[in-house]
A and B are shown apart, each in its own frame.
Chain A
Amino acid sequence: MLTKVHSNTKLQFVIALITGLVFGFLLQRGGVTKYEVIINQLLLTDFTVVKIMLSAVVTGMICVHLLRSFGLAQLHPKPGSLGSTAIGGLLFGIGFGILGYCPGTLAGAIGNCYLDALVGGLLGALLGAGIFAAWYPRLKDSILRRGCFPELTFPQLFKVNPWVVVVPVALMIITLLAWIEYTWPSNAMTIRDILAF
């Protein structure tokens, strides 16, 4: 692993800023800094969000596992439990459906100068995080610990080589994307258009 790069604090701050710049640029150009695109995904009439997320997951899954096979990266799976991950996920989903942005696309929407995101969404997200920090002492030893997950990743759970899971999951996602594209075609600039600039 590139430990010298990882421990260079100044360089890391530059990498963080550049990562954000590229990520924000991509989110905006993908259309997901827009309320309409996110809400229409949740109403199941426009599949842009799912198309972006699933193609990012397939690409990232293969690249990260390759890096890991060469000893250049390690995984950071998050621990979880039904009480924390599932209930928290549903609460997040309710907020996602009401607000129409998620934390990353909220930042992008602020950059796009959507004022409902800046005035309402940002203030709400900061308040919500603060309320959780205030309630945390009461939650941490009760509901957040209900139904802890046994293992951290699927390959660990099935006790197999990661590629035994990566390859079928990648094929499943690509098949799903092909079906989604056939049913809900994209009308944005295609990869071929971009390569033919």
Chain B
Amino acid sequence: MDFLTAQRWSPYAVGIAIGILGSLVFLLSDKYIGCSAAFSRASGMLERLFRGKMVDRKPYYQKLPPVIEWESLMVVGVILGAFLSAILSGDFTLQWVPSKWSTAFGSSPFLRVAVALVGGIFMGFGARWANGCTSGHGISGTLQLALSSWVASVCFFVGGIATAMFIFNILAPRG
């Protein structure tokens, strides 16, 4: 049972397994794997705690109601599954600053968390604007050969590559 504790699996084995898992979701749930809608629903539920029922009247939340849905439970599962995998392989580490970040920008947790916050805002905002993310469009949409998902996936990587190259090849003082 070495494979249960191996730190990394072949990306092809992981990809093929995700492809089969994604197909089972079509078969068993008549849905597809997509993560970003759950963040939107959770955001609406949190806002409702502070601002009350008026949140449900927002046009966007009439389209995508802020309630616990299939995808919400799936995302909770992703957190638990990654936790389980990390524990089993001994890869579980409490870490504030990734090593690649600290080599280039220093080990301050405040800077890294502030930058992650800004990145998260763009990502959460962009995922709603594009109506999907790297799982919903990037894997589930492209495998259906949906035109919108192929356009979205190319744009995700064009934007991501340009931004990462700007940060690490131009901004990084010690890169």
Contact = CB atoms under 8 A, between A and B. Distances in A.
Contacts, number: 563
Contact of A76 (B32, B101, B120, B150): B32
A101 B100 CA distance: 14
Contacts of A31: 8, 11
A193 B44 contact: no
A97 B9 contact: no
A43 B144 contact: no
Contacts of A172: none
The secondary structure that dominates the A interface is helix
A36 B98 contact: yes
Contacts of B120: 95, 99, 106, 120-128
A175 interface: no
- A75, A91, A186: most-surrounded residue (chain B CB, <10 A): A91
B155 A25 contact: no
Interface residues of B, number: 133
Interface in A101-137: 102-117, 119-134, 136-137
B100 A39 contact: yes
Nearest to B127: A92
Nearest to B4: A197
Contacts of A72: 27
B17 A130 contact: no
Interface string A146-166: 000101111101000010011
Interface string B65-105: 00000111111111111111110010111111111110000
Contact of B80 (A24, A119, A124, A136): A24
A103 B39 contact: yes
Interface string B125-140: 1111111111111111
A124 B130 contact: no
A111 B128 contact: no
B88 to A, nearest CB: 9
Given A56-B16, A186-B11, A116 B116 contact: yes
Given A116-B116, A144-B129, A78 B59 contact: no
A97 B82 contact: no
Contacts of B123: 92, 95-96, 98-99, 102-103, 106, 121, 124-125, 128
Contacts of B30: 1, 6, 73-74
Given A2-B27, A124-B121, A140-B59, A28 B137 contact: no
12 contacts: A19-B29, A59-B16, A59-B20, A89-B126, A93-B155, A94-B126, A123-B120, A128-B123, A132-B128, A133-B44, A149-B151, A169-B145
Given A26-B85, A98-B118, 13 more contacts: A20-B78, A22-B77, A23-B77, A26-B17, A29-B14, A42-B163, A42-B164, A44-B161, A67-B23, A103-B39, A121-B116, A126-B124, A129-B127
